[in-house]
Amino acid sequence: MRILIWSGALLAIVLLAAGALALLRRHIFAGQRDQTGGFIPLHELRDMHKRGELDDVEYEQLRRASLEGWGVSTGANGNAASRASGRTENE
């Protein structure tokens, strides 16, 4: 019986420590931006477009905004963006 009490106490301590670490981590990283700089990676945009989550107009707008956020000029027809993404217009 005594081992059950100590096991329960140890489990409670571990759970409390994990919760405290999670809160601390959330607090520390709360002010940091994600690594993409707030832009969705191009491969995710392509996947969302293929799944039908984005129509053609939304896809193009988000793709150009993402590329421009990285400093890539898309030009009038977006050809530079296609070269930068490694894709051709037919893909």
Q: Report yes or no on 73 lying in a domain.
A: yes
pLDDT digits 0-9 by tens, 11-63 = 999 999 999 999 888 877 766 544 545 667 888 889 999 999 889 998 998 88
Q: Which residue has the higher pLDDT, 88 or 57?
A: 57
Domain that holds residue 9: 1-31
pLDDT digits 0-9 by tens, 74-87 = 665 555 544 444 55
Q: Residues 35-40: contacts with CB within 8 Å, 24+ apart?
A: 37/69, 37/70, 38/69, 39/65, 39/66, 39/69, 39/70, 40/66
Tokens of 35: 């690594």
> What is the three-class DSSP state of 42?
helix
Are 3 and 23 part of one and the same domain?
yes
Are 55 and 79 part of one and the same domain?
yes
Residue 67 confidence class, pLDDT cut points 50, 70, 90: confident
Are 73 and 51 part of one and the same domain?
yes
